Amino acid sequence: MKQFNFILFGPPGAGKGTQAKTIGSKFNVVHLSTGDMIRDAKDDPAFAVYLTSGQLVPDNVIDDMVFKRLAKDDCKSGFLLDGFPRTIFQAKQLDDFLRKQNRQITKVFFINIGHEEVIRRLGGRRVCPSCGGSFNIDLKPPKKAGICDFCGGELIHRKDDTPETIKERLEVYDRQTSPLAEYYEKKGCMVKINGEVSPEKVFEQIEAAIAN
């Protein structure tokens, strides 16, 4: 059976999490979200100092966490990285790690959306702190305004989704992560995906690229 090793990246609000779950299920690969991994490691002293202070976790700490996870048996049949690498440095470190494991990346999916669409999506996002349900006041409104459809909890507008924070996140993305497109394009494994369509249409593009 063919082994698939995927990377999924794109700007904030591109729908990476939604696509990652679908890809993982459809192609039997382990979905590795660095955001989830960091949150799960909140009791680890190596991470706690950064999470409590609000500092960015250094590259070498993230690299070590991801590589230890990739070395586990369940990832040997295939994986999907979501949120890693974020920088060219991390991409090169990943290349070195996989080379030593006699593995390589199959495809890199770049889900591309414009800054205006990012602001529209994230600015309207409302989440439920109780169950994690996510809504959008314009694109996917809850049945009752301000109330979670799933558990009845009160929806909140996260600080990450305020206009000022969205702008800061986009600046960081443009500076650190967007250069990955050129890096992987030169390697011949990148597929650019139009993310400004429905999630179903986005997945159709991804599925077609894998089939080819």
Which residues are tagged catalytic? 16, 86, 125, 158, 169
Query: What does each C-alpha distance from 197 to 6, 187, 205 come to in angstroms?
Result: 21, 27, 10
- Number of C-alpha atoms within 13 angstroms, CB side, residue 87? 12
Contact 20, 80 (CB under 8 A): yes
Q: How many residues does the chain have?
A: 212
Q: Quote the radius of gyration of the chain (alpha carbons, Å).
A: 18
> Tokens in use for 61?
């700490």
- Amino acid in the structure at residue 114: G
Helix (H) / strand (E) element for 80: namely: strand 78-82
Q: Cβ neighbours of residue 187 under 8 Å, at least 6 residues apart? A: 105
CA distance 6 to 140: 28
> Tokens in use for 156?
């909140």
Would you give the DSSP letter of residue 157? Answer: -
Torsions phi, psi of 34, nearest 5?
Answer: -65, -30
